[in-house]
Amino acid sequence: MDLALLPMHKLLDLFYSDPNLIVEYIHSIYNRIHRVEEKVKAFITLRPLEETIAEAEHLIKKYVNDKNNPKLFGIAVAVKDNISTKGIRTTCGSRMLENYIPPYDATVITRLKDEGAIIIGKTNMDEFAMGSTTETSAFFVTRNPWDLSRSPGGSSGGSAAALAAGEATVALGSDTGGSVRNPASFTATFGLKPTYGLVSRYGLIAYGSSLDQIGPMARNTDDLAMLLNVIAGHDPKDSTSLPTKVGDIREEMYDLFHREPRLKIAIAKDLFEYSDDVVRNETYKAVDKLCSYHECEEIEIPYAKQCVAAYYIISMAEASSNLARYDGVRYGLRIEVENKSWIEVYREVRTKGFGYEVKKRIALGAYVLSMGYRDMYYLKALRFRRMLKETFNKIFSKYNAILSPTTPILPPRIGEFLEDPIKMYYADLNTVIANLIGGPALSLPVGFYNNLPIGLQIMTNYMDEVTALYISKSLEETLKLRDLIVDV
Amino acid sequence: MDMNSDIIEYLENLVLIKFTEVEKNRIRKEIDKIIDMFNTLNTVKNLNDWEPLYHVHDISLPLREDHETEESDEEHEILKENTILINDYVKAPRTVTE
């Protein structure tokens, strides 16, 4: 039995009865990494085996006589490289932070460690999370384990590829406009963007602060819910964290799953119509399965295509402000400062430290905020955001969930999007809505076309992650598309 | 909207970033399409009837008290990792240009 291939909930049962298996499991994970990583290239930083084994042995000793089993006892977690990890390099996929070693842990990392997780490494991503393919990383391109000539999506592509290739049991990503769900969809894994404020952003390196959320990634719904249980909850260190008590999300999901309530489900007609035929056909098959039990109705989302414009205006504006801090003095690339003025140093650091996509988004963000254009673009996007939120409040007063394809396309070939960035922006059409309105959204695998994964997105109302997980679990039971690991 | 070279130069100064010639050519090709995408918002009716939404939660977010920390080592670690330190002083560029 290869422990690296087992789902987390089964591993935990094994580890609770025989903690010593954790050491064997960590060895098994690293064996797998050594076999596939050269082809997949999911990790920017992989912790040395000796270090993680020592951590596993320490955990075993610590909990051997403890009746309180930690919720992630010995589980190998891959973490996106924009989440701060004390003592472990955190690059954000950028030359700007190539040698940055955070002196503190993000709140989500503290919570993982408190529950006995072992962080095995930091995963590749689009630079500062700006991209949907993991190709804008300053270091290398990550490959989709299902087809190495294609992208695993992004920006959390490293985390998703690591899961699909069996290099980690669960992972963390971050989602500003679909960066957890898009790679989950392209790699036949599960990804959830939680309600804005449910998971602390303390220690997450900011891109678009009003949109960013850290989200769990896994190979099945149970593991997704268990990981969310650990990272969700109020954090006084993040002023946008919601001051609400969070119950046991997995237990609540099972409560629904056993009671099997009939839901009212909305089918986002426009988002299906805008999708490629193969994606539409495959996702409709999954929808049909759900609608044979639940009550489904087609709905129209007014101004769906304009969501992409509003999203990019707001995210670029926020990025231009958030990334102003990288000046090489407080943060960022160090360069020699002899005989240079402040302005020269700032400019040189920012020019050398950022890649093209980041530079472009910072410049456009400054443009939409600059005098004369603020009203024309930025304020207009914010007005649209209010309108969209009210529209979805009305939809969720009638329906429990909204279904759509996660992405309108199949995983793109490496390089395909770099030639046509507008195509890349419009591929975010289905996912940006949840970020603009702040609600939860989950992607799960529902089918394949020529061995390329296709995902379905479930959007639910604020703080109703449980319904999204219930629908995901129901479909997972029907389709049996779970715990998929591909040999590369 | 014509994103001409002057505007690119203006933005370069605004954000303190230089684009290479290759990057400038690339951004010139892309920029019109991106601005066209932004302008699709003009097709939305009665947008001015809506107040801008800066934050998705209409709640007043709590502020926390500042507390003096005893972990001054952490502050030092931050400086050590990210700046050029000489005897605990941050080495900075010249403030006066000739």
The predicted-structure confidence for A412-441, as pLDDT tens digits, reads as follows 999 998 888 888 899 999 999 999 999 999
Rounded to the nearest 5 degrees, what angle is found at the Cα of A49, between the Cα atoms of A21 and A222? 50
Domain ranges of chain A: 3-261+473-479
Among A475, A471, A133, A449, smallest CA distance to A275 is for: A449
Any residues with CB less than 8 A from the CB of A141 and at least 6 apart, and which?
A41, A134, A135, A151, A414
Q: What is the pLDDT of residue B98?
A: 57
Q: What is the pLDDT of residue B89?
A: 82
Strand order in the sheet with A118-123: A43-46, A118-123, A76-80, A170-175, A213-218, A190-193, A441-449, A452-460, A401-405, A264-268, A295-299
Torsion of CA A286, A175, A80, A209, to 10 degrees: -170
Q: What is the pLDDT of residue B4?
A: 65
Identified catalytic residue from A80, A113, A193, A473: A80
Domain ranges of chain B: 5-48
Q: Which of these ranges, A152-166, B48-62, B73-87, has the smallest mean pLDDT?
A: B73-87
Q: What is the pLDDT of residue A360?
A: 96
**pTM score of the predicted model:** 0.96
Helix axes A356-369, B5-15, angle to 10 degrees: 90
Residue A124 pLDDT class (50, 70, 90 cuts)? very high
CB A171, CB A162: distance < 8 Å: yes
- CA-nearest residue of chain B to A89? B81
Q: Is the pLDDT of residue A475 over 70?
A: yes
Strands (E), B12-97: 85-86, 89-90
Q: Which of these ranges, A57-66, A158-167, A352-361, has the smallest mean pLDDT?
A: A57-66
Q: Which of these ranges, A20-24, A102-106, A121-125, A216-220, has the smallest mean pLDDT?
A: A102-106
Which residues does residue A353 pair with via DSSP β-bridges, in sequence order? none
DSSP letter at B20 equals P
Q: Using an 8 Å CB-CB cutoff, list chain A residues near B9.
A: none
Higher pLDDT, A243 or A410: A410
CATH number of A3-261+473-479: 3.90.1300.10
Q: What are phi and psi of A455, to 5 degrees?
A: -115, 155
Q: What is the pLDDT of residue B95?
A: 66
Residue A334 pLDDT class (50, 70, 90 cuts)? confident
The amino acid sitting at A357 is E
CB A324, CB A354: distance < 8 Å: no
Mean pLDDT of A159-176: 98
Question: DSSP of A383-451, one letter per residue?
Answer: HHHHHHHHHHHHHHHH-SEEEEESSSSPPPBTTHHHH-HHHHHHTTHHHHHHHHHT--EEEEEEEEETT
Residue B65 pLDDT class (50, 70, 90 cuts)? confident
Q: What is the pLDDT of residue B75?
A: 66
The amino acid sitting at A431 is T
Q: Is the pLDDT of residue B1 over 50?
A: no
For chain A, the average pLDDT equals 96
Calculate what percentage of chain A has a pLDDT beyond 70: 100
Q: What is the pLDDT of residue A14?
A: 97
Q: Per the CB < 8 Å rule, is B15 touching A366?
A: yes
Distance from CA of B60 to the nearest CA of A (A): 10
Q: Using an 8 Å CB-CB cutoff, list chain B residues near A341.
A: 93-95, 97
Mean pLDDT of A360-372: 95
Alpha helices in A191-341 (DSSP H): 221-231, 249-259, 269-273, 277-291, 306-322
Query: Between residues 96 and 115 of chain A, which touch chain B (CB distance below 8 Å)?
Result: 100-104
Rounded to the nearest 5 degrees, what angle is found at the Cα of A455, between the Cα atoms of A449 and A458? 155
Q: What is the pLDDT of residue A479?
A: 98
Q: Using an 8 Å CB-CB cutoff, list chain B residues near A377.
A: 38, 41
Mean pLDDT of A457-461: 98
Q: What is the pLDDT of residue A393?
A: 97
Among A287, A281, A280, smallest CA distance to A263 is for: A287
- Is A179 in the active site? yes
